[in-house]
Every structure is written in C-alpha cells, then in structure tokens.
Amino acid sequence: MPKLVRLALVVPTLAIMAVASATAALADNGVTVSVDPNATLTAKVEVVVTITASCPSGAWVMDQTVTIEEAVGKSIAHGMSWSMPGIQCTGASQVIPVAILADPTGPPFKKGTAIVTARLSAFGSTFGSATATVPVKIR
C-alpha cells in the first residue's frame, strides 16, 4: 500500500481516537480514585498503598483493582489486589489502605520507587470509572 494511502487512513483514525479519549477524560461520571505517593513495605512481600476513592451514592462497585510494579535488578516485582476493602458508593471520599502481595513467581519488593495503578468502576443510573497511575515511594 503506498505511503500516502496509509497516511490518509491513519491520520483520521488518530484524530478520532484523540477526540474520544479527550471526551472520556473530561466526562464527569462521579467516580474518582487517587493514590497516595507513599507506600509501606513489610517483609519484602507486602506493600500497603493508600487509595482515596468515591463513587455516586446508590451505585454499585463493579471493578476495583490496584496493581504495583517495581524494577528490581533486571526483573520486575509485581502484585495485584482485586479489591479496595470496604469501599461503598456513598458519594463521599473514602481513604482505603490496600495490601498487595508480591507475585511469588517474581522477585520480592524493595524500598524504592514503584508504579501503582488504581482502577474503580461503578454502575448506577450511569456507568462510571476512574483510573490513576502514579509513582510511589516504597518505605
């Protein structure tokens, strides 16, 4: 396929994706999530991160995941929690400590910097979700 034809197909597709992404990012769906920039390490296998989250009163929590990844030598230590314990859709912000265990197939965590991603989705009169990806300092 000639370069000009490929370019003619790619540019409009990228423009549509950019507009769709901007619309989703600007949508006010009532769901929020943020991650505290500090985390606590216990015995090299557990990291506790603090999540602040909210969802509209009356909605049901659908997806609630927190992942962490940290470079350890030439490997990546990682772990995931499938829940934010105690989260309820009340419309108010809730501060939730989330414990994440290191995946036993990889290296243990260490003190340093890691990347944490928190995602919360809720369904009520409408569907809403929020995702936060931030670097955190593991102490």
Predicted confidence at residue 91, as pLDDT, reads 95
CA 42-116-126 angle, to 5 degrees, is 125
Q: State the burial class of residue 64 (Cβ atoms within 10 Å of its Cβ: 0-12, 13-18, 19+).
A: buried
The pair of structure tokens assigned to 64 is: 């609630």
Q: Does 21 have pLDDT greater than 80?
A: no
Q: Considering the chain, what percentage of its residues have pLDDT values greater than 70?
A: 81
Domain-wise residue ranges, the chain: 28-138
CA–chain centroid gap for 96, Å, is 14
Express each pLDDT in 50-71 by its tens digit. Answer: 999 999 999 999 999 999 999 9
- DSSP state letters, 63-79: EEEEEEEEEETTEEEEE
* Strand locations in 26-126 (E): 32-42, 46-54, 60-72, 75-81, 94-101, 112-123
- Distance between CA atoms of residues 131 and 64, nearest Å: 10
CA distances from 63 to 28, 40, 47, 52 (A): 18, 24, 21, 15
The pair of structure tokens assigned to 94 is: 């809730």
Kindly report the average pLDDT of the chain as a whole number. Answer: 85
Q: Considering the chain, what percentage of its residues have pLDDT values greater than 90?
A: 78
- Distance between CA atoms of residues 125 and 7, nearest Å: 41
Express each pLDDT in 71-109 by its tens digit. Answer: 999 999 999 999 999 999 999 999 999 999 999 999 999
Q: Does 10 have pLDDT greater than 50?
A: no
Architecture of domain 28-138: Sandwich (2.60)
**In 3D, which of 117, 131, 138, 120 has the Cα closest to residue 54?**
120
